[in-house]
Structure formats: C-alpha cells, structure tokens
Amino acid sequence: TQLLEQSPQFLSIQEGENLTVYCNSSSVFSSLQWYRQEPGEGPVLLVTVVTGGEVKKLKRLTFQFGDARKDSSLHITAAQPGDTGLYLCAKVSGTYKYIFGTGTRLKVLA
C-alpha cells in the first residue's frame, strides 16, 4: 500500500516556537487533507487543499499545497501546548478511499 511520507516523525518544542511539518508523495494528489489526532481520540479534519499552490490559514496554522501537487506543508506559528498531538496528512485516492501519511507526533512543552 502506498504511504505518504511525513517528516519529521517526532518533534518536541517549547511553547512559542514555530514549526513546519511536511507531507510528500511520489505521485500527484487530487486533493490533500490534514488531520490532528489528540491522545485517546480519533483524527479530526483540519483542512482540505485541492489546488496547486493553495494556501489556507486556520488561526495559527498555515497549510500549503505544493505547486506540483506532490507535497504539502503545515506551519504552526507560536506553538501552544494545546497543539500537542499526532498530525496526519491524507490524500483522496478514489471515491471514499484515503491514503494516510506516516504521521508527525508533536509535543509542545509549556
């Protein structure tokens, strides 16, 4: 099964720092989603990007879709402990079929 590669795999930072998480594939995405999964919970959809070069903002989170639609990034400004969780990217691969990334586990220390 094809997986999306995410980097870094783990990230531990201090409150207030900025960070970027990456999601890469060898093939083109039709659309890409980002999820956050908090400990003990299921993933929750944050955003869907569909157009190459698209940038979406959700408060302190900025999502970018690469021009060639093979990669995406998530940038968090001034991280807070509430941002702690597992960040997953997923590409839509056919009707109701999703291929998920390997995940980035983020811990923000107060």
Partner 1 sequence: DVKVTQSSRYLVKRTGEKVFLECVQDMDHENMFWYRQDPGLGLRLIYFSYDVKMKEKGDIPEGYSVSREKKERFSLILESASTNQTSMYLCASIRDGDQETQYFGPGTRLLVL
Rg of the chain, C-alpha, whole Å = 13
3-state secondary structure of 82: helix
The residue among 18 and 30 lying less far from partner 1, judged by its C-beta, is 30
Q: Which residue has the tokens 């980097």?
A: 7
Residue from the set 11, 79, 88, 108 that interacts with partner 1 by CB under 8 A: 88
Q: Interface residues for partner 1 in 33-52 (CB under 8 A)?
A: 33, 40-45, 48
Q: Name the segment binding partner 1 (CB under 8 A); options: 14-22, 55-63, 69-77, 101-109.
A: 101-109
Residue 23 to residue 110: CA distance in whole angstroms: 26
- Pairing state between β 10-14 and 104-109: parallel
- By CB under 8 A, name the binding residues for partner 1: 1, 3-4, 9, 31, 33, 40-45, 48, 88, 90, 92, 95-103
